[in-house]
Amino acid sequence: MKRILTLAITLTILSCNSHAQKEKKETFKVSKTDAEWKAQLSNLEYNVLRHAATEPPFSSKLNNNHQKGVYVCKGCDTPLFKSEHKFNSGTGWPSFDREIEGNVAFSTDYDLGYERTEEHCATCGGHLGHVFNDGPKQTTGERHCINGAALKFVPKNK
């Protein structure tokens, strides 16, 4: 019995997915020091983009934005989503049925205890939100649930 308990404890320790184990050191085209990010971004923008925080639902002005244009990364101005791909998901966050290919990168997180697909800016690594498979069936079926604090809207010139 003692051996089984020892084996179980050992396996548990070895299989733990600690924060230190999942932290990755990626290199991005736009790279800044923590102080530079803090100087550029508001507290909310910094926490969302650099520490994967989530803004409160229905708090972003971009959630109800219906203008034509492009949503770019608040950290580096990389174009991420087009207005024609935005839809009202009712979730309280700006939602899109697709990203601008090549400008958004994906990874897996287990922060809530289950697997989710995280989205981040491919240029600066800023956290954007998550993608789910419960979007509009008539298009991609995807719902890119994005923090408005991670985005800046650039209206289309008329």
- Write out pLDDT tens, residues 82-101: 999 999 999 999 999 999 99
Q: What CATH number does the domain containing 144 carry?
A: 2.170.150.20
Q: What is the pLDDT confidence band of residue 2, given thresholds at 50, 70 and 90?
A: low
Catalytic site positions: 145
Spell 43-69 as b/e; 16+ CB within 10 A means b. Answer: ebbbbbbbebbebeeeebebbebeeeb
Q: At 27, is the pLDDT very low, low, confident or very high (cuts 50, 70, 90)?
A: confident
**Dihedral sign, CA of 130, 132, 134, 139?**
positive
The mean pLDDT of the chain is 88
Q: Does residue 51 lie within any of the structural domains?
A: yes
Among candidates 94, 76, 82, which has minimal Cα distance to 135? 94
Neighbouring-strand partners of residue 96? 86, 144
> Is residue 150 domain-resident?
yes
Note down the domain range covering 44.
34-155
Residue 80 lies in a domain: yes
Kindly report the pTM of this predicted structure: 0.82
pLDDT number for residue 115? 93
153 near 69, Cβ under 8 Å? yes
Q: Is residue 20 part of a domain?
A: no
Establish if 93 belongs to a structural domain.
Answer: yes
- Output the CA angle 111-115-92, nearest 5 degrees: 70
How many Å separate Cα 13 from the centre of its chain? 29
Query: Is 69 part of any domain?
Result: yes
Report if residue 38 sits inside a domain.
yes
- Decide if pLDDT at 9 tops 70: no
State how many domains the chain has. Answer: 1
**What share of the chain has pLDDT > 70, as a percent?**
84
Tokens 């507290």 belong to 43
User: Is it the case that residue 19 has pLDDT exceeding 60?
Assistant: no
| Cα angle: 37, vertex 151, 41; to 5 degrees | 20
Strand partners, 154: 70
- Whether 26 is covered by a domain: the verdict is no
